[in-house]
Structure 1
Amino acid sequence: MLEYRTQGYNGYSVKYSPFFDSRIAVAASANFGLVGNGRLYVLGLTPNGIVAEKWFDTQDSLFDTAWSEVHENQLLTAGGDGSVKLFDITLADFPVQSWQEHAREVFSVQWNLVAKDTFLSSSWDGTVRIWNPNANASLTTLPTHSCTYSAAFSPHSPSTVSCVSSDSHLRIFDLRTPASASNHLTLSIPIHTPPKPRMGVPASVGIPPSEALTHDWNKYRDTIVATAGVDRVIRTFDIRAPNAGPIAVLPGHEYAVRRISWSPHLSDILLSASYDMTCRVWTDGSAMGAGTVKQDNMLEDPIVFGGGRQMGSMGMHTEFVTGVDWCLFGAEGWCASTGWDERVLVWDCKAIMQ
Structure 2
Amino acid sequence: MLEYRTEGFNGYGVKYSPFFDSRIAVAASANFGLVGNGRLYILGLTPNGIVAEKWFDTQDSLFDISWSESHENQLVVASGDGSIKLFDIGLNDFPVQSWQEHKREVFSVNWNLVAKDTFCSSSWDGTVKIWSPSRPTSILTLPTHTCTYSSAYSPHAPHLLSSVSSDSHLRLFDLRSPPSASNHLALKIPIHTPPHAPSEALTHDWNKYRDTVIVVAGVDRLIRTFDIRAPGQGPLATLAGHEYAVRKVTWSPHLPDVLLSASYDMTCRVWTDGSALGSGKVPQGPAVQIGEELGRMPRHTEFVTGVDWCLFGAEGWCASCGWDERLLVWDVRAVMGR
Indicate the percent of aligned positions where both proteins have the same amino acid: 78
Instruction: Output aligned runs, 1:218-233, within 5 Å.
Output: 218-233=207-222
The one-letter amino acid of 1:278's match is: T
Work out whether 1:266 is the aligned partner of 2:255. yes
Instruction: Output aligned runs, 1:140-219, within 5 Å.
Output: 140-194=140-194, 206-219=195-208
Which residue of 2 is the match for residue 245 of structure 1? 234
Deviations 1:246-265 (A, max 9, x none): 01000000000000000000
Q: Distance between the aligned counterparts of 2:289 and 2:119, measured in 1?
A: 33
Deviations 1:45-71 (A, max 9, x none): 000000000000000000001000000
Q: Is residue 86–residue 95 contact of structure 2 (8 Å, CA) maintained in 1?
A: yes
Q: Distance between the aligned counterparts of 1:105 and 1:94, measured in 2?
A: 21
The one-letter amino acid of 1:327's match is: C
Q: 1:321 aligns with which of 304, 309, 326?
A: 304
Q: Is residue 250–residue 305 contact of structure 1 (8 Å, CA) maintained in 2?
A: no
Q: 1:275 aligns with which of 259, 264, 270?
A: 264
Which residue of 1 is the match for residue 320 of structure 2? 337
Unaligned 5+ segments in structure 2 are: 282-286
The one-letter amino acid of 2:246's match is: V
The one-letter amino acid of 1:69's match is: E
Which residue of 1 is the match for residue 44 of structure 2? 44
Which residue of 2 is the match for residue 67 of structure 1? 67
How far residue 305 of structure 1 moved from its aligned partner, in angstroms, is 6.0
Which residue of 2 is the match for residue 256 of structure 1? 245
Q: 2:275 aligns with which of 283, 286, 290?
A: 286
How far residue 92 of structure 1 moved from its aligned partner, in angstroms, is 1.4
Q: Is residue 278–residue 289 contact of structure 2 (8 Å, CA) maintained in 1?
A: no
Q: Distance between the aligned counterparts of 2:60 and 2:289, measured in 1?
A: 42
Which residue of 1 is the match for residue 292 of structure 2? 309
Q: Secondary structure at the match of 1:350?
A: helix
Deviations 1:289-322 (A, max 9, x none): 3289xxxxxxxxxxx9621000001000000000
Q: Secondary structure at the match of 1:138?
A: coil
The one-letter amino acid of 2:250's match is: S
Q: Is residue 249–residue 259 contact of structure 2 (8 Å, CA) maintained in 1?
A: yes
Give the TM-score normalised by structure 2. 0.97
Unaligned 5+ segments in structure 1 are: 195-205, 293-303
The one-letter amino acid of 1:32's match is: F
Q: Is residue 165–residue 202 contact of structure 2 (8 Å, CA) maintained in 1?
A: yes
Q: Distance between the aligned counterparts of 2:118 and 2:75, measured in 1?
A: 13
How many residues align? The count is 332
Instruction: Output aligned runs, 1:115-134, within 5 Å.
Output: 115-134=115-134
Give the TM-score normalised by structure 1. 0.93
Q: Secondary structure at the match of 2:18?
A: coil
The one-letter amino acid of 2:183's match is: N
Which residue of 2 is the match for residue 300 of structure 1? none
The one-letter amino acid of 1:37's match is: N
Q: Is residue 249–residue 305 contact of structure 1 (8 Å, CA) maintained in 2?
A: no
Q: Secondary structure at the match of 2:243?
A: coil
CA RMSD of aligned residues (A): 1.1
Q: Distance between the aligned counterparts of 1:291 and 1:212, measured in 2?
A: 25
Q: Distance between the aligned counterparts of 2:146 and 2:131, measured in 1?
A: 20
Q: Secondary structure at the match of 2:315?
A: coil
Work out whether 1:88 is the aligned partner of 2:88. yes
Q: Is residue 302–residue 323 contact of structure 2 (8 Å, CA) maintained in 1?
A: yes
Q: Distance between the aligned counterparts of 1:31 and 1:159, measured in 2?
A: 38
Q: Is residue 235–residue 248 contact of structure 1 (8 Å, CA) maintained in 2?
A: yes
Q: Distance between the aligned counterparts of 1:222 and 1:305, measured in 2?
A: 19
How far residue 110 of structure 1 moved from its aligned partner, in angstroms, is 0.6
- Which of structure 1's runs of 4+ aligned residues deviate more than 4 A? none
The one-letter amino acid of 2:101's match is: E
